[in-house]
């Protein structure tokens, strides 16, 4: 175990490197940084060793050593957080995500909505919370990370309007989101539990299993008309249209404007 002085030097050095790499941003948080390794440097180089040495997750908000994930505040947006493995996983295309017994990072991300609520200073209805992972072409970080934040008002309204058309199998949403066509399915439950969206995508859409790197997933909390809590899972893929990079993050709102009331 490192002594406190050497540990502090390690943290300062790691964060200085990460911030230097993140400086030339083109519009969006740690996940929009110029270097594709910023998140990896922060989590593996600072958060994990600090947690191991001191029991504190700094500079992350949470490091779960037993379940092997971390929660990090994204520098873009007041309420946006990222959930990442503490192991090196490149992204949605990582084969280990589909292995038997793979961790359900989506459940960890759903649990991390408490940090979004803390940042917002209030409880947030489950229908307003979204989780998203971008495709390999739609991301700038080569370390798997799930965005956790508020959902766009128009997305919430559209899903509510068309909820009876969304069932337990993948179906096209009748309207486009942000100009892109999404598929959607519904799952019931207060939590995701054993329902892993990576596996639901690969198992229920065979074409997706062969092209996981092109896929994007969004999970949005829901309270359905029958009163049951659950989730919408949405899928798009890079190349569906010439301008489509497979960035499901586009359905989130990092200003969390939905908390300000109706537009």
* 58-82 mean pLDDT: 97
Nearest alpha carbon to residue 63 among 77, 74, 49, 79: 49
Q: What is the pLDDT of residue 242?
A: 86
Name the percent of the chain lying above pLDDT 90: 81
Number of H helices, E strands in the chain: 8, 10
Rounded Cα–Cα distance for residues 50 and 29 (Å):
23
Confidence of residue 25 (pLDDT cuts 50, 70, 90): very low
Rounded Cα–Cα distance for residues 73 and 171 (Å):
33
Q: What is the pLDDT of residue 241?
A: 84
pLDDT, tens digit (0-9, with 9 covering 90-100), for 172-190: 999 999 999 999 999 999 9
Q: What is the pLDDT of residue 263?
A: 54
Q: What is the pLDDT of residue 13?
A: 60
Tokens of 40: 């990896």
Q: Is the pLDDT of residue 16 over 80?
A: no
Q: In total, how many domains does the chain have?
A: 1
pLDDT, tens digit (0-9, with 9 covering 90-100), for 199-223: 999 999 989 999 999 999 999 999 9
Residue 31 near residue 140 (C-beta atoms within 8 A):
yes
Q: pTM for the whole thing? A: 0.90
Q: Is the pLDDT of residue 8 over 70?
A: no
pLDDT, tens digit (0-9, with 9 covering 90-100), for 96-141: 999 999 999 999 999 999 999 999 999 999 999 999 999 999 998 9
Cis bond upstream, residue 59 (ω within 30): yes
pLDDT, greater one: 75 or 2: 75
* 224-251 mean pLDDT: 94
Range of the domain at 103: 4-260
Judged by phi (left if over 0) then psi (alpha if -120 to 50, else beta), residue 8 lies in alpha
Rounded Cα–Cα distance for residues 76 and 137 (Å):
20
Residue 127 near residue 75 (C-beta atoms within 8 A):
no
CATH code (residue 81): 3.30.428.30
Rounded Cα–Cα distance for residues 10 and 89 (Å):
23
Q: What is the pLDDT of residue 261?
A: 76
């Amino acid at each position: 175990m490192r002594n406190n002085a050497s540990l502090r030097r390690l943290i300062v050095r790691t964060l200085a490197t990460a911030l230097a790499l993140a400086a030339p941003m083109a519009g969006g948080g740690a996940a929009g940084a110029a270097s594709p390794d910023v998140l990896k440097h922060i989590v593996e180089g600072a958060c994990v060793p600090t947690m191991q040495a001191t029991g504190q997750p700094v500079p992350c908000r949470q490091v779960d050593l037993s379940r092997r994930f971390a929660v990090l505040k994204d520098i873009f947006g007041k309420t946006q957080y990222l959930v990442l493995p503490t192991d090196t996983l490149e992204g949605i295309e990582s084969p280990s995500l589909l292995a038997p017994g793979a961790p359900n990072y989506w459940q960890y991300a759903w649990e991390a909505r408490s940090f979004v609520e803390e940042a917002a200073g209030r409880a947030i209805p489950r229908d307003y919370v979204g989780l998203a992972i971008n495709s390999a072409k739609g991301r700038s970080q080569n370390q798997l990370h799930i965005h956790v934040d508020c959902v766009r008002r128009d997305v919430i309204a559209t899903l509510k309007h068309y909820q009876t058309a969304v069932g337990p199998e993948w179906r096209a949403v009748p309207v486009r989101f942000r100009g892109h066509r999404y598929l959607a399915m519904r799952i019931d439950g207060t939590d995701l539990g054993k329902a892993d969206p990576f596996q639901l995508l690969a198992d229920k859409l065979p074409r997706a299993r062969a092209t996981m790197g092109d896929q994007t997933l969004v999970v949005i909390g829901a309270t359905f008309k029958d009163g049951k809590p659950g989730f919408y899972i949405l899928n798009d893929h890079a190349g569906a249209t010439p301008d489509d990079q497979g960035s499901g993050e586009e359905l989130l709102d990092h200003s969390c404007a939905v908390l300000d009331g109706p537009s």
